[in-house]
């Protein structure tokens, strides 16, 4: 639901009734991960996607049904060899879909509207909703913020609210979406309760060092991939808005000085395109010691060997050098700045998702996999029943 928060927040602000279908479980080769959502309003307008097209029609009808009867539904969709024309996933996977009506009179609406508003503003927020469990907990939701505060809840069960807030807060800290299994009384005791926790966190950062034409193309690619892109260069004549219209931020400063003072985290990617020792060495000496997701540096193989020698001279260890992706990018035969940007972006995606970079044709590895902590491992739900 939070992946389409901006549009849903607009609907809520306009007073529209709508139903939202959210992926809560994936088994096998599912096209979308837990948290992916599709929503339908009372006029039949649809936004979002839960399957890339495989079961959208059937999910659309479930949303229309939920708007009419006000009931939350949990449905299972999978590939069916017996009936190839039935609603199912042609990729062979199985997904669980939670369909929640969000109407003006529904008690859960203000809680969900608060979560949607926060996510639409780019704030970190998590929302927990019931997937399966006791009937009196159906249709409830709880919103958690980074400071530990929360709103909403699951009726008159304060211990359960506190437990859910703590568990959802942990997932929010990690930027993860997935399901939780706890007891309905807030401990391991009582009837089992399954919750979907969706986390919305600000976009990850891509910092591109070196205001060259390749950097302009990479800034476009980074923005397309959903990164908040910063371009940094010490030369003001090159680091201009006119040259980098797709960057969110342009910084005129020595690269290592900027990196020392800016905030990075485990999702940040650093792309060093300066290939000039006076910039590269102090920058990479710092970058390779930071807890970031990716560090890549442009240059020929000769430049790479010379740079490694210079980095060793200033105390960079072989273990730290092993983190460096250089020459940057995958071997696509790229020539132009745009092709090179695709090469670099492809390597970043492969590093993020655990890909190999080899062609999928004839490859035995699964197409869909996820190494990044976006989603809780082992996401499950009781699929195929009303909750």
Higher pLDDT, 164 or 54: 164
Phi, psi torsion values for 348, nearest 5 degrees: -65, -45
CATH for 205-353 is 3.40.50.720
- Residue ranges of domains in the chain: 1-105, 107-202, 205-353
294-297 sheet: strands from edge to edge? 249-252, 228-233, 205-209, 269-272, 294-297, 324-325
Q: What pLDDT does 266 receive?
A: 86
Q: What pLDDT does 133 receive?
A: 87
Q: What pLDDT does 189 receive?
A: 67
- What is the percentage of the chain residues whose pLDDT exceeds 90? 66
Q: What pLDDT does 373 receive?
A: 43
d(CA 31, CA 114): 29
Q: 18-44: per-residue pLDDT in tens?
A: 999 999 988 866 668 889 999 999 999
The token duo for 69 is: 């009867």
Which of 36-45, 75-84, 88-97, 316-325 is predicted least confidently?
A: 75-84
Q: What pLDDT does 383 receive?
A: 38
Report field, pTM of the whole predicted structure over 0.85? no
Q: How confident is the model at residue 375 (pLDDT cuts 50, 70, 90)?
A: very low
Range 349-366 average pLDDT: 84
d(CA 40, CA 21): 9
- Res 377 pLDDT > 90: no
């Amino acid at each position: 639901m939070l992946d389409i928060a901006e549009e849903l927040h607009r609907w809520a602000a306009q007073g529209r009734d709508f139903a939202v279908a959210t992926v809560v479980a994936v088994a096998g080769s599912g096209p979308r991960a837990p948290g992916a959502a599709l929503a339908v309003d009372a006029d039949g307008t649809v936004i979002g996607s839960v399957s890339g097209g495989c079961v959208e029609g059937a999910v659309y009808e479930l949303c229309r049904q939920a708007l009419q009867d006000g009931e939350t539904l949990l449905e299972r969709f999978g590939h069916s060899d017996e009936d190839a024309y039935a609603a199912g996933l042609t990729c062979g996977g199985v997904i669980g879909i939670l369909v929640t009506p969000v109407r003006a009179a529904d008690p859960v609406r203000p809680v969900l509207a608060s979560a949607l508003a926060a996510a639409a503003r780019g704030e970190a927020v998590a929302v927990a909703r019931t997937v399966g469990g006791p009937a009196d907990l159906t249709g409830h939701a709880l919103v958690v913020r980074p400071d530990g505060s929360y709103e909403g809840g699951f009726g008159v069960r304060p211990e359960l609210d506190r437990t859910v807030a703590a568990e959802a807060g942990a997932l929010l800290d990690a930027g993860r979406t997935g399901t939780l299994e706890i007891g309905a009384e807030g401990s391991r005791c009582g009837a089992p309760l399954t919750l979907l926790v969706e986390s919305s966190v600000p976009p990850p950062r891509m910092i591109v060092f070196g205001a060259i034409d390749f950097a302009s193309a990479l800034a476009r690619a980074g923005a397309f991939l959903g990164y908040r892109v910063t371009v940094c260069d010490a030369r003001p004549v090159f680091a201009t808005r006119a040259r980098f219209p797709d960057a969110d931020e342009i910084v005129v400063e020595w690269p290592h000085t900027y990196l020392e003072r800016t905030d990075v985290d485990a999702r940040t990617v650093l792309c060093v395109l300066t290939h000039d020792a006076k910039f590269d060495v102090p920058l990479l000496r710092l970058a390779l010691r930071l807890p970031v997701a990716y560090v890549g540096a442009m240059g020929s193989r000769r430049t790479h060997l010379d740079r490694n020698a210079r980095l060793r001279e200033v105390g960079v260890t072989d273990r730290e050098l092993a983190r460096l992706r250089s020459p940057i990018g995958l071997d696509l035969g790229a020539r132009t700045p745009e092709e090179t940007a695709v090469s670099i972006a492809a390597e970043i995606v492969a590093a993020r998702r655990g890909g190999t970079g080899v062609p999928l044709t004839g490859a035995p590895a699964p197409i869909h996999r996820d190494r990044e902590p976006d989603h809780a491992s082992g996401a499950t739900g009781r699929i195929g029943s009303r909750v």
